[in-house]
Chains A and B, each alone.
Chain A
């Protein structure tokens, strides 16, 4: 009887540990929740690009995002604020339905998924993404890494593989803080295993009642001296009507 109770006790403990232990996919979803609000929002994304230590380009984007009620992935409308040559150009991201609109020629041009990858801070990087919707977290290994502020941080190192046709990258390694699920950094790879870019999520500040990264530093995989800083400001909770997220609305869109 005593032996049976002991076995039951250990089984109970094992089950309890199992219940509180998060799966890699849960960790990934928790880190998504740190980066992304659970409601529609707008923000300003300022991109500053450096090559060989010198600033070569900068642009400012106004981004309006909301999660799709059907699939959960974010859909976004991106508008160029600066530089002047690109002002008011729009890109609509709605899954595979992607359109570019140029107000000077009044032309709407359909974009292919491949065009999400163009640019170091690619079209796909500037918009909000729930990684857990497009990737399967296959492993989670605890280790220490240095964060974007160059401090050691205890993290889960997640191995992600694409499990949706909408996934931009083939494979991702992502470091997520063990304590608070903050994404710390990520490495993005091609199908052949080539490192495309490294991203550091840093400068956490309060936005919508939670600590969220307000800066992403992207380092090119092939040219490490090609660096892009993406800085997020002007976070605002706002309506993003469904009617905005279609090509017919692009010529009519005006900032509010």
Chain B
């Protein structure tokens, strides 16, 4: 009797014992695996083109009379990259901004042909490009002394975010060749003079803004180690002295990237260029040095020191502010078009928090400080990334004495809400 009971119970006992010994998938794991079983099996495919449409509404407080002015903007951005053959591709990037803003009043349409070029692969490690190309160099986040092709490139300024300034600019017409090898590359760019007159026509291709002088640049990249990764640059403009430059990045621990970008050479000051004085051959240095720290919660913070030896020194800046308004405007306009610093020393801070508080919600903050006159500009952005649409809220404020770098800007504050639809 006892034996038969044991016989009957033994398999059940063994099963229970076995199940106890097996490390079970936790209940949470089992739920997750069931969810994964039902995951869609579609795979997104490559496309030759992409683009977005953006609509923005906002307001700006005008310093001149204390009034508030409404602003609207519609933007359309399209990029095409089409393979013509295994060796050749055609690239096109264009942006149209139609806006009514505090600066110019009324509606204004500005089309920016950002890029239009052919790209060829002569051999696997020898590449050439020809056409309008946005050639951008430098590792700094705010001010890039070696980004020599930025002058005159900005036609429509829709945001002061450095990423936006780099994104919404037109390239220069140039021929680019690049030779690659394991751990390095040599790049040669040659850009001809096409026209010396920039155009204010909204639909102009504006060759004069980007190709007013013949230019050439040589870039050598070499990877010394996984930690240190420098790049050396030589840049030469028609009738100007060569400019030497370089940048280097390095790691400090697991969470910090340090960078240094420098450019130096004989040349005229921004003031000489703005008022068209004969150039003096003084050696001038430009530099950006910074650190980016990333925390475990996806918050990254950048602090950058900026120096521009071609800009006005503190005393000269004070004198200009107190002197002729005409000269002041002349200088500020030239600096704005050239995307240079008006004074020699500045600080830049940027914080970016991805998935802040809730998933797909990003917060950005940026502060510019002009150390010559202690004026400041702050910029804040909240962005929610839905599947195809970004919902964006931006605010920008400036503070400073009259005629200071940021205190002289037409708006004391500005806000904007925008919808950005990707297609």
Contacts and interface: CB of A to CB of B under 8 A. Distances in A.
A120 to B, nearest CB: 10
Interface stretch (A18-26, A30-38, A104-112, A126-134): A104-112
A95 to B, nearest CB: 4
B46 interface: yes
A106 B229 contact: no
Contacts of B240: none
A72 interface: no
Interface string B176-196: 001011111101000000000
Given A81-B46, A97-B226, A219 B180 contact: no
B359 A114 contact: no
B184 A246 contact: yes
A95 B225 CA distance: 10
Given A48-B39, A243-B125, A112 B227 contact: no
Contact of B221 (A148, A149, A246): A246
A224 B390 CA distance: 28
Interface range for A? 35 or more
A111 B226 CA distance: 12
B18 to A, nearest CB: 8
B327 interface: no
A247 interface: yes
Nearest to B259: A110
Interface in B239-290: 249, 251, 253-257, 259
B43 A46 contact: yes
A53 interface: yes
Q: Which of A105, A149, A150, A225 has the most CB of B within 10 A?
A: A105
Contact of A112 (B21, B33, B46, B292): B292
A146 B18 CA distance: 12
B50 A84 contact: yes
B6 interface: no
A215 B33 CA distance: 11
A113 B254 contact: yes
Contacts of B89: 254
Contact of B294 (A87, A107, A112, A247): A112
A229 B39 CA distance: 8
A51 interface: yes
Interface in B17-59: 18, 21-26, 28-33, 35-36, 39-47, 50, 52
Interface string A70-89: 00000000000111110110
B47 A87 contact: yes
A227 B388 contact: no
A190 B356 CA distance: 22
A66 to B, nearest CB: 12
Contacts of A145: 22-25
A44 B29 CA distance: 25
Contacts of B35: 50, 53, 227, 229
A181 interface: no
B44 A249 contact: no
A97 B422 CA distance: 31
B296 A46 contact: no
A65 to B, nearest CB: 17
A107 B292 contact: no
A150 B30 contact: yes
Contact of B23 (A113, A144, A227, A229): A144
Contacts of B108: none
Contact of B50 (A88, A150, A175): A88
B21 A95 contact: no
A139 interface: no
B54 to A, nearest CB: 12
B146 to A, nearest CB: 13
Contacts of A82: 44
A143 B23 contact: yes
B139 interface: yes
Contacts of B26: 224
A102 interface: yes
B124 A241 contact: yes
Contacts of B180: 243, 246, 248-249
A85 B390 contact: yes
Nearest to B387: A83
B77 to A, nearest CB: 8
A185 to B, nearest CB: 8
B44 A60 contact: yes
Contacts of A114: 254-255, 294-296
A110 B257 contact: yes
A64 interface: no
Contacts of B28: 219, 224-225
A118 B139 CA distance: 22
B81 interface: yes
B102 interface: no
Residue of A85, A103, A157, A234 with most partner-chain B CB within 10 A = A85
A137 interface: no
Residue in A60, A113, A248 whose Cβ sees the most chain B Cβ within 10 Å: A248
A103 B226 CA distance: 23
B190 to A, nearest CB: 17
B40 A152 contact: no
A7 interface: no
20 contacts: A56-B360, A81-B44, A81-B45, A83-B388, A84-B388, A96-B227, A105-B164, A110-B249, A111-B257, A114-B294, A115-B294, A143-B21, A144-B18, A157-B23, A200-B29, A219-B28, A225-B32, A243-B182, A248-B219, A252-B119
Given A82-B44, A83-B388, A104-B79, 14 more contacts: A46-B43, A88-B50, A95-B226, A97-B226, A112-B254, A112-B294, A118-B298, A119-B298, A157-B23, A219-B29, A224-B26, A225-B32, A227-B32, A252-B127
The 8 A-B residue pairs whose C-beta atoms are closest, nearest first, are A82-B44, A224-B28, A248-B185, A114-B255, A243-B180, A84-B422, A60-B44, A242-B182
Interface of B: 18, 21-26, 28-33, 35-36, 39-47, 50, 52, 79, 81, 83, 89, 119, 124-125, 127, 134, 136, 139, 141, 163-164, 166-167, 178, 180-185, 187, 219, 221, 223, 226-227, 229, 231, 249, 251, 253-257, 259, 292-296, 298, 354, 359-360, 385, 387-388, 390, 422-423
